[in-house]
Amino acid sequence: MTDSLYDVIIIGGGPAGLSAAQYTARAKMKTLVLDKSSSAGALAFASLIENYPGLEKPLPGPELLDIFRKQAVGFGAEYVEAQVIGVSLTGEVKEAFTMEKTYQAKSLIIATGSMGRKATIKGEAEFLGRGVSYCAICDAAFFRGKTVCVLGDSEEAVKEAGLLTRFAETVYLISPSKELKVSPDNPTLSIQNLKVLTGRTAASIEGGDLVERVHLRDAQGEESSLDMDGVFVYLHGSKPVIDFLQGSVEISEDECIVTNKMTETSIPGVFSAGDVTCTEVRQVVIAAAQGCIAALSAEKYVFHRRRRKYDWHG
Ligand SMILES: Cc1cc2nc3c(=O)[nH]c(=O)nc-3n(C[C@H](O)[C@H](O)[C@H](O)COP(=O)(O)OP(=O)(O)OC[C@H]3O[C@@H](n4cnc5c(N)ncnc54)[C@H](O)[C@@H]3O)c2cc1C
């Protein structure tokens, strides 16, 4: 086992992942948090939180998230902004794959939240994997020299559109709202092969074996159509983010990760916390509490303890 082997890799930097990181780092476990984006999780979208215990005044979700992150990093957790696109979990060493690197650890906590999208556009589910994608970083290379669009108006949608401009010939950023949720001088918006269309929703995705076109509708109900090879959907929704797991842990019929009350998944050494699990209540306080349990369970697993240890003060 090498120096680059972590005690625990935590996938996801929301309240569940960062609360877990705070506990594992404080327990002197070598901790890595891999987070797709600090602005992509549910808390990052919450405009104001006033029901998290201990808050003296309501805080915007991103501000509360910053506090979580600083606290975890302050205890020694390493935070890397990278999207995990695959995992290998069956061996003693658990692996998490990103586009840049493979990371290894003795244990792993999955805390990727529930911001995956339920298919709502006509043709979206039908063409998934045949031109429809939810992951630009995973699939951009398949669209070299082609025409693609990103559906969405968030910072993440803009960022992913920017990435696609390096591969596709033309990238349309199609926003349902009149204004994108980024500053007008965001450098991505001036990339030459990016065309921004606002105030338009995708009515349907059509094609034969593969996607061939999208039908758009504007606020007045006027329809238009664009020839298209790929459609990257970055609209908000609520579906546990489990695509990168490729069925490697037990998933319920509702597509959430099955855990016991100590956050253990079907694979020894792999734990899960927060909205990605089959939790009935999706709230910050619950995600943070589950992150704590996952951390204690990972610590017990890595150090072969008979019981969980609760305090490392001093
Ligand atoms: C609009 C809105 C308002 C809300 N208001 C409240 C409220 O007032 N009070 C309250 O208690 N709760 C509220 N919630 C719910 C609360 O935000 C969630 O329950 C909580 O954030 C869940 O935490 P989590 O860590 O499980 O997931 P998330 O907060 O969703 O974090 C998941 C993290 O995983 C990362 N990730 C995803 N996929 C990958 C990948 N493949 N690789 C690496 N990282 C990945 C994401 O970038 C994200 O940082 C609200 C939610 C929303 C959407």
Q: What is the pLDDT of residues 203-227, one digit of tens each?
A: 999 999 999 999 999 989 999 999 9
Mean pLDDT value across residues 128-152:
88
Residue nearest to atom 3 of ligand 1 (CA): 46
Sequence-ordered strand ranges (E) for 1-58: 5-11, 31-35
Ligand 1 near 12 CB (within 6 A): yes
Measured from the Cα of 284, ligand 1's closest atom is: 11
Q: What is the pLDDT of residue 138?
A: 66
Q: Where are the domains of the chain?
A: 5-116+239-302, 132-233
Residue nearest to atom 27 of ligand 1 (CA): 113
Mutate to test the pocket of ligand 1, among 51, 101, 284, 293 (most ligand atoms within 8 A of CB): 284
* Spatial contact of 197 and 175, defined as CB atoms under 8 Å apart: yes
**Fold matches, 5-116+239-302 and 132-233:** yes
Closest CA to 105 of 38, 30, 211, 159: 30
Q: What is the pLDDT of residues 92-106, one digit of tens each?
A: 999 999 999 999 999
The torsion angles phi and psi of 137, rounded to 5 degrees, stand at: -65, -30
Ligand 1 near 291 CB (within 6 A): no
Rounded to whole angstroms, how far apart are CA atoms 174 and 189?
A: 12
* Spatial contact of 241 and 115, defined as CB atoms under 8 Å apart: yes
% of the chain with per-residue pLDDT over 70: 97
- Tokens representing 7? 């005690």
Q: What is the pLDDT of residues 68-119, one digit of tens each?
A: 999 999 999 999 999 999 999 999 999 999 999 999 999 999 999 998 777 7
Any idea which architecture 5-116+239-302 has in CATH?
3-Layer(bba) Sandwich (3.50)
The C-alpha angle 142, 143, 144, rounded to 5 degrees, equals 100
Closest CA to 292 of 312, 269, 310, 266: 310
Question: Which pLDDT band, with edges at 50, 70 and 90, does 281 fall under?
Answer: confident
Fold classification of 132-233 is FAD/NAD(P)-binding domain (3.50.50)
Ligand 1 near 283 CB (within 6 A): yes
Q: What is the pLDDT of residue 88?
A: 97
Single pTM value for the model: 0.77
